[in-house]
Structure 1
Amino acid sequence: MSSGTVLADAWMDFRSSLHEGDTMAVEFDRMTVDQGLLEDFLNDPGNQWDLMSLGYTLMKPDDGDRELTQQELTDRRTVQDWVVRPLLRSTTGVAEINSQGGYQKQYKVLVNPDRLRHYGLTVKDVYEALGRNNANAGGGILPQNAEQYLIRGVGLVQNLEDIRLIVVKEVGGTPVYIRDVAEVAFGHAVRVGAVVKNGTTEAVGGVVMMMAGGNAKAVVSDIKKKVVEINDKNMLPGGLKIEPYYDRSELVDAALATVIKVLIEGVIFVVIVLYLFLGDLRSSVIVIATLVITPLVTFIVMNQVGLSANLMSLGGLAIAIGLMVDGSVVVVENAYERLGHAKEEGESRIRVILSAVMEVATPVIFGIGIIILVFLPLMTLQGMEGKMFAPLAYTIAIALFVSLVLSLTLTPVLSSYLLKGGADHDTRLIALLKKPYIPMLTWAVANSKKTVSLAVLAFVGAVAMLPF
């Protein structure tokens, strides 16, 4: 966080584990400065912004890659500060518009010390005169018959000549103007940065900062509508147009598209694999139901625990898609097989499915639990690394836990309605795979020492191939 004035810059760094608003309040209490100003700063919603949501530049259709003059950069920065910034800041969810690039226009009054002494004036007299003569003032109400007129004195300076004609003081019955004791000219504030377009030429633009906790997609959508309105109605002088170069919603859309794509691919592969191995489409429907419901419940849990759906958490959900079906596949496969045997024994379907679930519950719980433990180190990361990777780990852990609960609750219920029971023989694919597998398994069990030795040798070889 930074607070800048014409006199100083103050920088404060906070631990990432602390809530920003509470932290600022605590630290500001320690500072020996005007507490009233600090309270106004803390209470201003504009100081509670999040990441940038949209970046843009001001351009003309014929700009191309030509280099802009200093005057053009100054004029565009003036348009940005006094026209574009107020228009965009009125958008719901926008906290601040940070202007970037160009030259910030200033009116400079360069006093002449000799002329001041000649008239018996000081710099303070000039400063106070400028302040008094550059303000609007209300004059109350003037009743006129059945109407009332608002009286307002407009005293804002419009150009250099207005400043030159400001009266500083009366000396011997003659007014002393600013032009008599100083030179008035245009200037610009000291620059602390610049915006470069395409790595070659300077430009002027701004960055839209979103309110903390806001909906990035909704805010960016509203801003883009406002930008289109400004450009279509030619609301900017000189033919200027707002050209966005960064759109945060594109990242959000890309992340969501990735999750949806992976989910669709997961559904397709589940159908194919289960049909090939079990020869039953009903079992695929049960697993697909778990695969679809798990992300929805995961989002609900994330919202309850305060975990936002950012790029990293959505990436974690995409990674977990393939792991979500493990428990359901094991439960469905075992229930399918047990129902096939129950046809001959005449057992109750409910009892058979319950027994099948209880039989595999322990390995399913331990299997998914071990996968969750793998991500435990990521959950303990601190600082910037924790900010980046902890949401990914937490999302995966939540998704796997939800899938575990659904595999032991929803999957058995759906199995009782949809599964008809397995066949008394293997599918063609299983029979084909068993031909080479059974001899290999028989040899491995009969030659346990050789099997372990080969495994150790493979491990050592893999380690030796690692680059150190």
Structure 2
Amino acid sequence: MRITSTAIQRGVTFFMIYLIAVGFGLFSLGRLKVDLYPDLTFPMISIITQYTGVGPFDMENVVTRPIEEVVASVKNVKTITSNSRQGLSLIMLEFDWGTDMNQAETDVRNVLDFVDETLPDDTTDPMVFSFDPSMQPIIFFTVGSKVHGMAELRRISEIEIEPRLERIPGVASAATMGGLKREIKVLVDPVRLHAHHASIAQVQNALRMNNMQLPSGWIEDKEREFTIQTLGEYRSIEEIEETAIAVMEGSVLRIKDVADVVDGFTEQRQRVWTNGAPAVILMVQRQSDANTLNVSNKVREQLPQILNEIPKGVTVDTVFDQATFINRSMSNLSNTAVQAILLTVLVLLFFLRSIRSSIIIGISIPISMLVTFAVMDQAGITLNMISMAGLALAVGMLVDNSIVVLESIYRHREQGEAPRVAADEGAREVAMAITASTLTTVAVFVPVLFVPGIAGELFKDMVITICVSLGASLIIALTLVPLLASRLLKDTVESDKKFPGLKRVGNSLGRAVEKMQFFYIRVLKWSLTHKAVLLISTFLVLLLSIYLLSVRGGEFIPRSDMGVVQMTLDRSAGISLESMEKTVLELSDLLMKHVPESEVIYTSFGQGEGMFAAFASQGSNEGDAMIRLKKKKDRKRSMSEIEDDLRGRVDRIPDLKVAFEDRGAASLFGGSDIDIEIFGHDFEIAKALANTITDKIKGIQGIVNTEISIKAEMPELKIELDRQRVADLGLSTTQIGQTINTCMLGTVATRYREGGDEFDIRVQLKKEARENKSDIENILLMTPGGRQIPLRAVARITYGAAPAEILREDQERKVTVAVDVSGRDLKTTTDEVTEALKSLIVPNDFRVEIGGMAEDMADSFRYLAIAFLVAMALTYMVMASQFESLLDPFVIMFTIPLSIIGVGLALFLTGTTLSVMSLIGVIMLVGIIVNNGIVLVDYANQLRIKGLELKEAICEAGKARLRPVLMTALTTILAMVPLSLGLGESGENWAPMARTVIGGLLMGTVLTLIVVPVMYAILHAFIEKHHSKRQRG
């Protein structure tokens, strides 16, 4: 090729070009952001609305449904899901991938303006934000002390530490959970309130109106101007007690006359523990465009300084840091890449028996990688698990083109050609073949870019890094390799004098290669004379392999050992916090006793705080637990083994249900392993169906836990107002509701400032006056005429029960049976669940569907199967263009089913299931395995043009291309061996892909060297015979 001749003639120029490329690569490597996963813009928007004290049914009717109706009109909305809980409405909008999420968020905010007026006054403004993995906290700290109490720790965390952390570049927010939060309580005594003929609303108003600091204008005194400030804020608890409520018959009614003012703490609705002791948890959230590692490093750098600036005796320890797993995973992948490079170099030394030749070929690896880093930097691709895995997978393929070129140059040197002529002619001879080989490998990845949904987005970085590095390796093979070969390759005699030891090793290896070639030619000749036996045997083995694949089962994405065991806890509805606390302490003791691999055990239960309330537990009967494990190399058991051991142990704790969650790549897809979704309005029917389904599937192997979304109903008191009576008295339902809310939950009337800090002043009935149904019935209402009446006079209060949460999807109620699978593959288990559901009798107005990861797996498998077919078509088209023939590409395409034989055997022997990762490996194989066929067929065609007979050309092509074929195959195979072992953090994710490629390439290469020549002989003989008949005719 012209570019090869130019490179050989203008060596200095090309050396400078490559030095510039290396420089840019090194510069870019230093700039690349490091993260766990690629930057994914999830097409999801969350809408969170709070309405304190309101039950799930009312939340559904007055908040969730009105919002669902208006957001359904937003463009590109794919699915609307909602969760109505006690005091909280969470609506998730899923959009089509590719939607402009900034515009979508604006559209959602605009339509919500139409519903604001219809929502109850006491609801918070709906919070709208795009879903992003970066929303999840990246660091959990525990704030502890031996000298400070829980209240002071909470204050220090919120007031002293949070603001300092939030000033660190890249930190979006810091939030505190647990501990005691100071609050000024105005505890009203209903007896005294009744005696003084006052209402609780008057208490609120009095506090609000007497705690203000207002600007009151200004005055000018000669040449000076003074602003006027009315200072009316509370400065002590005594001032609050002395606040006047009203003047009655000449005497002043004060707060202290009807209430006790207490400097205390908010009633705890959430409690947090670490290692069995009460704790304060501090969570750090990064900005969406910030780098996790950089943020984590900066936070850790600033922590010592922060600790010096806050009160002494406070310690801050890490519970969870996402950067730790990122560092371990990236280190593991980097080590894997280095091991792959070393194994590749050893293969080159084995076959080439020349250090210089090995260096010439091996240099293509670092240069290709550095060029890839430069492209990644410009394209905004981060250095993450996916892109790094792409580079690790590509290592063995980066030398393939260089091997073929150098092998061709060697043959020309052996024919006596001068170094520069041999380099030029050798590269020119194989240029089209390696270009086609590279294009076929790149072409198979193109369909993966178009796989819809998160699977396509997730693997985009891997596809780009592989394609760019392979493209760079092709250019290097056509320019740098011939250039270096023309300058560096010495005569064999001269090399032998300098390295006599290498000569002896080389001679031994040379004889081994010659024996291998001799044996191969014998097998090939036998195969050419026994075509039917060979093809029938191969076909039978293919059928066996397909059968082995069909019984291997399947899973979505292999679980990775992140060193963190995550659990959700659930007890019977209505359990008090005190009762839940006893259970959680029992669980903590069990975990500390039976998980010696733990470093920190964190538990929380009750209602979450702030924006994290949407993602944390909600009821007093719900909680979370997290175990941070030691490094993988420092423990004997894997994360999965620890979870399996704990399942049997936690089941012994009375009235506690524990579900284990995934924090790895699979967690990005959401949902349980299998979600059986029941759609219909009637909760009783849905609950009955859910129970029936649970009974039907509980005996299926692999199912370790089932959970119905309609949990045990929460006990509640229903207040039914007599609307006629309410109207006759001049009252309103809103006024009554607000009064009940203030009496029971309390209302923040105003805030108390002290030392630069602010604390809520909450008005509420004293605890003894809000403990039972009778207390609620006796709540005092004040009519416009000043008459006091008890609530029972206008309402009927009855006991009832309601579900803890109401799920909806696309404006339709949904009940879910969440199924956790362990110890068995997801696909086989899902198939058996589907079979079991066939006998389920479903009412006409109900329907049952399979969702969760099982649905995501089925969708991804279907799209990847289509991508596989498209990859085959593109591969054929590229080869047809290169050969200008429809026959030769057809012959080469037989390498693909040959590789499938190896895939089936590899997965069967290693006990690996089919997954998204292994299917990506199969697609990779399409582009890799045909390269061997291209090299064979291309050289056979060249020999036929030179006049060799068909069988002679086939045998000569096989003999000449045996070494480069084996070298390219072995470099790719051995480079993937470290990945295939699944060692280290995140190793489990990539092992199926590597095993698939290794098995397919190993068996496919061996069979390609025999079956492809046989098919070439059969089809070309048939075509020649047909042409002869036409000529005679």
**What secondary structure does 2:317 align onto?**
strand
Q: Is the 8 A contact 1:58 1:242 kept in 2?
A: yes
User: CA, structure 1 residues 23+422, in 2 after alignment: closer, same or farther (shift >3 Å)?
Assistant: farther
* Cα distance, 1:278–1:130 mapped onto 2, change above 3 Å: same
Deviates more, 1:91-100 or 1:250-259: 250-259
Which residue pairs with 2:296 in the alignment?
Answer: 220
The aligned amino acid for 1:288 is: G
In 1: Cα distance, 2:382 partner to 2:364 partner: 23
Counterpart CA distance in 2 for 1:116 and 1:431 is 106
Matched, 1:441 2:441: no
- Whether contact under 8 Å (2:175, 2:283) holds in the other structure is yes
Q: Name the residue aligned to 2:105.
A: 24
SS at match of 1:14: strand
Alignment CA distance shift 1:41-1:110 (3 Å): same
In percent, how many aligned pairs have the same letter? 24
1:155-234 equivalent positions in 2, closer than 5 A: 160-161=237-238, 163-169=240-246, 175-185=252-262, 186-188=264-266, 191=269, 194-198=271-275, 200-231=276-307, 233=308
Contact 2:143 2:280 in 1 (8 A): yes
SS for the counterpart of 2:542 is helix
* 1:287–1:411 CA contact under 8 A, matched in 2: yes
CA gap 1:464/1:3 in 2 versus in 1, 3 angstroms: closer
Contact preservation (8 Å) 2:49, 2:125: no
Q: Does structure 2 retain, via aligned residues, the 8 Å contact 1:14–1:23?
A: no
Mapped to 1, the partners of 2:480 and 2:229 lie a distance apart of 72
**Contact persistence 1:141–1:148 (CA under 8 A):** yes
Equivalent of 1:284, from 358, 364, 371?
358
**Counterpart for residue 310 of structure 2:** 235
Give me the whole-angstrom Cα distance separating, in 1, the residues matched to 2:537 and 2:350.
32
1:300 corresponds to which of 358, 374, 385 = 374
Alignment partner, residue 58 of structure 1: 143
- Note if contact 2:48-2:126 (Cα within 8 Å) is conserved in structure 1: no
Distance 2:280 2:163 in 1: 16
Give the letter aligned to residue 366 of structure 1.
Answer: A
The 8 Å contact of residues 216 and 228 in structure 2, kept in 1 or not, is answered as yes
Residues 345 and 355 (structure 1), Cα distance of their counterparts in 2 relative to 1, 3 Å cut = closer
Q: How does 1:106-145 map to 2 (within 5 A)?
A: 106-112=183-189, 115=192, 122-134=199-211
Matched, 1:11 2:91: yes
User: Does the 8 A contact of 1:331 with 1:411 survive in 2?
Assistant: yes
Question: Cα 1:82–1:293, aligned 2, differ >3 Å: closer, same or farther?
Answer: same
**Structure 1 counterpart SS, 2:185:** strand
| One-letter amino acid matched to 1:429 | L
State how far apart, in whole Å, the 1-side matches of 2:491 and 2:252 are.
Answer: 106
How far residue 243 of structure 1 moved from its aligned partner, in angstroms, is 0.8
Q: Tell me the alpha carbon deviations over residues 131-159 of structure 1, each in whole angstroms, 9 at most, x when there is no partner.
A: 4555666799999xxx9999988876677
CA shift digits 1:311-354 (9 cap, x unpaired): 2222222222222222223223333443443xx344x71x4323
Q: 1:4 to 1:92 in 2, by over 3 A?
A: farther
What is aligned with 2:809? Answer: none
Report the 3-state secondary structure (helix = DSSP H, G, I; strand = E; otherwise coil) of the residue aligned with 1:308: coil
Aligned partners of 1:183 and 1:95: how far apart in 2? 40
Q: Would the aligned equivalents of 1:53 and 1:249 in 2 still touch at CA under 8 Å?
A: yes
Alpha-carbon spacing, 1:142–1:400, altered in 2? closer, same or farther (3 Å): farther
Q: Is the 8 A contact 2:186 2:261 kept in 1?
A: yes
What aligned pairs does 1:245-260 form with structure 2 within 5 A after superposition? 245-260=319-334
Code of the aligned partner of 1:235: I
C-alpha spacing 1:163/1:465, structure 2 compared with 1 (3 Å): same
Letter in 2 for 1:29: N
Are the aligned partners of 2:47 and 2:127 in contact in 1 as well (CA < 8 Å)? Answer: no
SS at match of 1:12: strand
Partner of 2:535 in structure 1?
452
Preserved contact between residue 100 and residue 195 of structure 1 (Cα < 8 Å): yes
In structure 1, how many angstroms separate the alpha carbons of the residues matched to 2:183 and 2:544?
Answer: 71
Deviation per residue, 1:385-444 (Å, 9 max, x gap): 445444334433333333334333443344444334667998531321321442332233
Q: CA deviation at 1:292?
A: 1.1
CA distance in 2, matches of 1:401, 1:222: 37
- Deviation, 1:124, is 4.5
Distance change (3 Å), C-alpha of 1:101 and 1:421: farther
SS in 2 for 1:447: helix
The equivalent residue for 1:80 is 157
Pick the aligned partner of 1:315 from 375, 389, 413: 389
- Structure 2 vs 1, CA of residues 438 and 303 (structure 1 numbering), >3 Å: closer, same or farther? same
Is 1:353–2:423 an aligned residue pair?
yes
Contact kept, 8 Å, 2:391 with 2:465, in 1: the verdict is yes
Q: CA deviation at 1:245?
A: 1.9
Residues in 2 aligned to 1:312 and 1:81: alpha-carbon distance in whole angstroms: 37
Distance 2:134 2:234 in 1: 33
In structure 1, how many angstroms separate the alpha carbons of the residues matched to 2:471 and 2:302? 43
In 2, distance between residues paired with 1:455 and 1:235?
A: 74
Normalised TM-score (structure 2): 0.38
Instruction: Find the partner of 1:397 among 462, 467, 470.
Output: 467
| Paired residue secondary structure (1:184) | strand
Structure 1 gaps, min length 5: 64-71
Aligned-pair CA distance for 1:223: 0.7
Contact 1:108 1:184 in 2 (8 A): yes
From the superposition, tell whether residues 240 and 20 of structure 1 become closer, same or farther in structure 2 (CA, over 3 Å). Answer: farther
Q: CA deviation at 1:211?
A: 0.8
Q: Distance in 2 between matches of 1:264 and 1:48?
A: 30
Are the aligned partners of 1:165 and 1:179 in contact in 2 as well (CA < 8 Å)?
A: yes
User: What TM-score does the superposition give when structure 1 sets the normalisation length?
Assistant: 0.78
Do 2:187 and 2:261's aligned partners in 1 also have CA atoms closer than 8 Å? yes
1:95, distance to aligned residue in structure 2 (A):
0.6
Alpha-carbon distance in 1 for matches of 2:339, 2:133: 40
Residues 422 and 459 of structure 1: is their aligned pair in 2 closer, same or farther, counting only changes over 3 Å?
farther
Equivalent residues of 2:364, 2:399 under 8 A apart: yes
* Residues 1:300 and 1:122: Cα distance change in structure 2 (over 3 Å): farther
Q: 1:118: how far off? A: 6.2
> 1 CA distance for matches of 2:272 and 2:447?
40
Tell me, in whole angstroms, the C-alpha distance in 1 between the residues paired with 2:254 and 2:537.
Answer: 99
Residue type at the aligned position of 1:77:
R
2: CA distance between counterparts of 1:304 and 1:431? 49
